[in-house]
Amino acid sequence: MKRELPQDPMMRELVQMARKHQMSRRAALAGFGGTAAALTLASCTSAEEGLTPATDVSDSEPVIVWHNWPAYMDEDDDGNYPTLERFQAESGISVDYRIEIDDNDTWYAKVKDQLELGQDIGADVACPTGWMASRLQNLGYLQTYDNANMPNKVANIAPGYLGSADDPDRIYSVPWQGGFAGIGYNKAAYKEATGKDAPGSMADLWAAELKGRVGLLSEMRDTVGLVLMSQGIDITSTSSLTEDAFMAALDAIKEQIDSGQIYNVRGNSYLDDLSTGNIIAATAWSGDITIINYESGTDDDPEPFGFIFPESGATLWADVFVTPMGATHKANVEKLINYYYDPMNAAELALWVNYITPVVGAQEAAAEMDPELAEDQLIFPNADTLAKSKAFRSLTGQEEQRFASAWQNLLLGA
Amino acid sequence: MAFVALGGNAPAKAQTPTKTGRVALYLLLPGLFYLGLFFLTPLFSLILTSLKAPSPSGEIGRYEVAAEFGNYLYAVGQYLPQIIRSFGFALLATIIALAISYPIAYFIAVKARNKPLLKGLLLTLVIAPFFISMLLRTFAWKQIFSNDSWVVNTLKDIGIFGSDSYIIGTNFAVIFGLVYNFIPFMTLPIFSSLDRLDLRLVEAGGDLYANPFTTFRKITFPLSLPGVISGTLLTFIPISGDYVVASRDFLGGPDTAMIGNVVEANFLRIQDYPTASALSVLLMAAIVVLVSIYVRRSGTEDLL
């Protein structure tokens, strides 16, 4: 009559402990005490000893739970995900795809306690942004993927994603989709307000004609990164992007907020501000602009919104697959990653979500499906476009705490 | 206790209160257990967290147990304007809500006393907003006040607003949202006080040559005071800690942040748990102090 033990290591330990003490009243109490002691111990020792991956039960359980951001999966009119359904049919693995991540910081706040104890966070794979993945990797929260199980990834990953100091072979985190942050604007309203066709630099956002009609992204690395670049700082370099430089950029932003130039600083909801006309221009994510054009475009005016790189350059980011220590279906996840690194699948996905695919060969595959979109620099950037974009350098724990505090305090007006 | 003193067989009777005392104690146990588990434990944990110091590893969000009272100084030094703003907004919103709610409550409880249909209808109207989620209602105001809305456009057309003025993100929008959300909490307690008002007393005031204002000042208002006190408390306390309305995703902007928003940012965005906890403790302490002064001043300690 014994039931199978749960896979989550902490739960398994607790169940075993409970079984050891058969349930007489006294033993139950002792077990309770022991459990509390085990919990305390677990929380104390895990950090020093380091976490170990949970036992992989992929062979007996063909399932994956996947946490991802909104609007990040191709979707047909009935709300199905065609590429994902094909994967399930081909592999026999059923995928529970959940839109759980709305913001890196709040997602981390939600799962950090389980991560710290090596417990299951309820997902076998999640796709936070690269800098968050680095943090998880440095804290020892992530399992490593086996390249041998992902031949497509080895063959097709864009070389730009390899060779970083943290993870040169991309075994802790594998890129899912990437994108740019630049300036998004309402074409008609911008022309009416300024008389110009399009903004060209970050300084154009501070123009007096746009007072109170400018939005900023609350994602620190994108907004502050764009301002830093406009001040001539190389955001990839430790020697150029110093704490002083960062704080100077914050001062520049504060000046614009205090003067009433900035309407608001928001996360994903900046898109509502842009599409309802609350703001005329904003720091924006590339794929979003394609999506609101799709939603609010008419036959006369198919693209009412535009996206440009400021002349000083755009920021580049990537969201990545990671599998936490407590996840028990890593081998299934490797199959999933391998599937999405097939250029045909990657192309189909990229043409829907409109973000940058990390898969070499996807552009050629996309050219057969939709030649026009395959030329879109925001989805399939060429070397010139990529040269104009930079990724925010990785921050140490202390730097991150100071930078993030200063940024949040600025947003709180403190 | 009274009849213990009465009888000659006092020792026998004396057992009765002890027994009921014990039963009452047993009946209290679930409540005490609840209080211990869901109030004292979190409070203890909150105070403990508020004294933690960053761990030497320097990783974000890692803290260890310490007695770092400097967290409180930092929290006050860094966020004093937000703390003052929270109580300022709460005070202003409470006063405005009182000014709006009292006449409503008076009308429903006194003027509509003999018209059950009208009274029921009006009460339903006061409660009706509760049928829709507060978040949705606040979002609706965000739409109504957005830059391209008819409200803003009309204000611009009639020249009250300049071309670059807006409503969302201003102090006005936040206080408006707070008042709007808390009016039912103010109206209902005042209503229940006024509903019991004996109109013969008002009549007597008139008979004794008090003018209507004096009658209101000397009779109606004092008798409704318990409702006013509980209404203002039910409004002031939650508003001081509100973080939805003033959030940048709703009616707030970069310079309208209240303590709730500061706590949220410190807790969820920068994982600065000690500062967030210190602010929560301070907020709680400040409210307790303010409320006890208020209740003492208004002479209704028995309400607490």
Range in A12-16, B25-29, B235-239, B279-283 the model is least confident about: A12-16
Are residues A382 and A360 in contact, defined by beta-carbon separation less than 8 angstroms?
no
**Neighbouring residues of B252: CB distance < 8 A, sequence distance ≥ 6:** B169, B173, B174, B245, B246, B261
Do the Cβ atoms of A411 and B61 come within 8 Å? Answer: no
Q: What whole-number distance in Å separates Cα of residue A151 and Cα of residue A362?
A: 16
Q: Has residue A403 been placed in a domain?
A: yes
Higher per-residue confidence, B116 vs A272: B116
Q: What whole-number distance in Å separates Cα of residue A408 and Cα of residue B276?
A: 13
Do the Cβ atoms of B147 and A263 come within 8 Å? Answer: yes
| Shared domain check, A93 and A25 | no
Name the residue of chain B whose CA is nearest to A400's CA: B60
pLDDT in tens, A27-71: 444 444 444 444 444 444 444 468 899 999 999 999 999 999 988
Q: Check CB contact of B60 with chain A, cutoff 8 Å.
A: yes
| Shared domain check, A258 and A114 | no
**Residue B54 distance to chain A (closest CA, Å):** 10
For chain A, give the percent of residues with pLDDT over 70: 88
Q: What whole-number distance in Å separates Cα of residue B211 and Cα of residue B229?
A: 25
Amino acid A382: pLDDT: 87
Name the residue of chain A whose CA is nearest to B258's CA: A412
Q: Has residue A246 been placed in a domain?
A: yes
Q: Has residue A57 been placed in a domain?
A: no
Q: Whole domain around residue A43: which residue ranges?
A: 9-49
Do the Cβ atoms of B254 and A211 come within 8 Å? Answer: no
Name the residue of chain B whose CA is nearest to A408's CA: B265
What is the mean pLDDT of the segment spanning B45-51?
95
First vs last C-alpha separation in chain A: 61
| A147, A148, A178, A254 from A169: Cα distances, Å | 9, 12, 18, 40
Residue in B79, B166, B272 closest to A414 by CB: B79
Q: Has residue A143 been placed in a domain?
A: yes
| Shared domain check, A266 and A336 | no
**Residue A105 distance to chain B (closest CA, Å):** 5
Of A307, A341, A375, the residue that ends a domain is A341
For testing the chain A interface, which of B49, B55, B60 should be mutated: the one with the most A CBs within 10 Å?
B60
Coil, strand, or helix at residue A142?
A: strand
Mean residue pLDDT of chain B comes to 88
Contacting residues of A for B56, CB less than 8 Å apart: none
Q: Are strands A262-266 and A314-321 parallel, antiparallel or unpaired?
A: unpaired
| Shared domain check, A70 and A36 | no
Amino acid B169: pLDDT: 87
What is the mean pLDDT of the segment spanning B18-34?
84
Amino acid A324: pLDDT: 96
Q: Check CB contact of B249 with chain A, cutoff 8 Å.
A: yes
What is the mean pLDDT of the segment spanning B182-191?
95
**Residue A278 distance to chain B (closest CA, Å):** 5
| Shared domain check, A203 and A145 | no
Residue in B78, B146, B147 closest to A409 by CB: B78
Q: At what angle do helices B134-144 and B171-195 cross, to 10 degrees?
A: 130
Amino acid A60: pLDDT: 92
Q: Residue B127 pLDDT more than 80?
A: yes
Listed residue (B231, B232, B228, B236) closest to B88, CA to CA: B236
pTM for this predicted structure = 0.81
Amino acid A2: pLDDT: 52
Higher per-residue confidence, B59 vs B139: B139
How many folded domains does chain A comprise? Answer: 3
pLDDT in tens, B52-92: 998 887 778 889 999 999 999 999 999 999 999 999 999 99
Q: Check CB contact of A218 with chain B, cutoff 8 Å.
A: yes
Tell me the sheet residues that pair with A214. A262, A281
| Shared domain check, A243 and A207 | yes
Amino acid B185: pLDDT: 94
For testing the chain A interface, which of B89, B269, B273, B279 should be mutated: the one with the most A CBs within 10 Å?
B269
| Shared domain check, A250 and A199 | yes
Q: Has residue A348 been placed in a domain?
A: no
| Shared domain check, A311 and A230 | yes
pLDDT in tens, A167-223: 999 999 999 999 999 999 999 999 999 999 999 999 999 999 999 899 999 899 999
Do the Cβ atoms of B265 and A412 come within 8 Å? Answer: yes
* pLDDT range class, residue B18, cuts 50, 70, 90: low
| Shared domain check, A67 and A18 | no
Q: Has residue A123 been placed in a domain?
A: yes
pLDDT in tens, A313-345: 999 999 999 999 999 999 999 999 999 999 999
pLDDT in tens, B226-273: 899 999 999 999 999 998 999 988 999 888 999 999 999 999 888 899
Q: Has residue A376 been placed in a domain?
A: no
| Shared domain check, A96 and A73 | yes
* pLDDT range class, residue B8, cuts 50, 70, 90: very low
Do the Cβ atoms of A413 and B81 come within 8 Å? Answer: yes
Q: Check CB contact of A30 with chain B, cutoff 8 Å.
A: no
| Shared domain check, A293 and A196 | yes
**Residue A112 distance to chain B (closest CA, Å):** 9
**Residue B21 distance to chain A (closest CA, Å):** 30
| Shared domain check, A257 and A147 | no
Which CATH number is A138's domain given? 3.40.190.10
* pLDDT range class, residue B2, cuts 50, 70, 90: very low
Coil, strand, or helix at residue B265?
A: helix
Q: Check CB contact of B65 with chain A, cutoff 8 Å.
A: no
Q: Residue A13 pLDDT more than 80?
A: no
Do the Cβ atoms of A109 and B255 come within 8 Å? Answer: no
Do the Cβ atoms of A413 and B166 come within 8 Å? Answer: no
Amino acid B11: pLDDT: 47
Contacting residues of B for A414, CB less than 8 Å apart: 78-79, 81-82, 257, 262
Contacting residues of A for B249, CB less than 8 Å apart: 266-267, 269
Two structure tokens written together for A21: 């003490």
Q: Are strands A214-217 and A63-68 parallel, antiparallel or unpaired?
A: unpaired
* pLDDT range class, residue B25, cuts 50, 70, 90: confident
Q: Has residue A4 been placed in a domain?
A: no
